[in-house]
Amino acid sequence: MRSTGSVVAVVPARAGSKGIPGKNLRAVAGRSLVRRAVEAALEATSIDAVVVSTDGDAIAAEAERAGARVVRRPTELAGDEASSESALLHVLDDLAAAGEEPEVVVFLQATSPFTDPADLDSAVARVRDGLADSVFAATPSHAFLWRIEREPDGAGTARAVNHDAAVRPRRQDREPEYRETGAFYVFRTAAFRQHRHRFHGRVELVVVDPRGAIDIDDPGDLAVAEALAPHLDPALNGAP
């Protein structure tokens, strides 16, 4: 199968969710999470088509209303143990069976409601221009991280992870580290098929707005996203 030269965004959106029942259809500022993902991808100038992979009828209907194609995910790929990579490969196989093989895949997660289309375009450009093999969304962090190391008796000792605990440099004197937000990942289809993983070759990141770097996992996250929407949604904050 030869590449069509196109860029396809794939949004995996299972019907089941333990943290928030029906999560992908929950709304932030009047738009469902799956609709937000589809519309962000459609607004990106570099993305040619959007495909939603789902096992749910209601999600499929919402995705189609938002302008996406739908690929029905089989039961064996819809459980909690199924990886995102397996859903992506299933979509690519479905497209290939129809004679389509996109050049670039944008793996977009519906649980990140404030994805900026311009960030998607930036990531796609880096991959298409050969500057990177895999690009993902990240936000800067200056956090001092610790982990608990368990002793044989069960007691825990706190150990510094990314710093020397005896040295406390100022924030402006520390180079930032970057937290993966989970919002999106971009890579070439051929390389993804070869490695069967989103991170391969030269990996780079696109720095996204920390304010919108939220991943919806529980009802509290939904409440935070609703509070942020007036500040981050162009249609709500008066931006053109």
Q: What would the DSSP string read from start to end of 67-105?
A: T-EEEEPPGGGSSTT--HHHHHHHHHHHHHHTT---SEE
Q: Which residues does 217 contact at the CB level (< 8 Å), separation at least 6?
A: 19, 20, 111
Split at pLDDT 50, 70, 90, the class of 1 is: very low
Split at pLDDT 50, 70, 90, the class of 82 is: confident
Is 171 marked active-site? no
Residues of the chain with pLDDT > 90: what percent? Answer: 74
pLDDT at site 236 = 54
pLDDT at site 207 = 96
pLDDT at site 238 = 45
Averaged pLDDT, 162-185: 90
Averaged pLDDT, 9-37: 91
* Token pair of 183 as six digits: 């919002």
At residue 170, does pLDDT exceed 90?
no
Catalytic residue among 168, 170, 198, 211: 168
At residue 16, does pLDDT exceed 90?
no
∠ Cα 95 98 102 (to 5°) = 40
pLDDT at site 2 = 52
At residue 33, does pLDDT exceed 70?
yes
206: DSSP letter: E
Domains identified in the chain and CATH numbers: 7-234 (3.90.550.10)
- Please name which of 28, 29, 82 lies closest in space to residue 55, comparing C-alpha atoms: 82
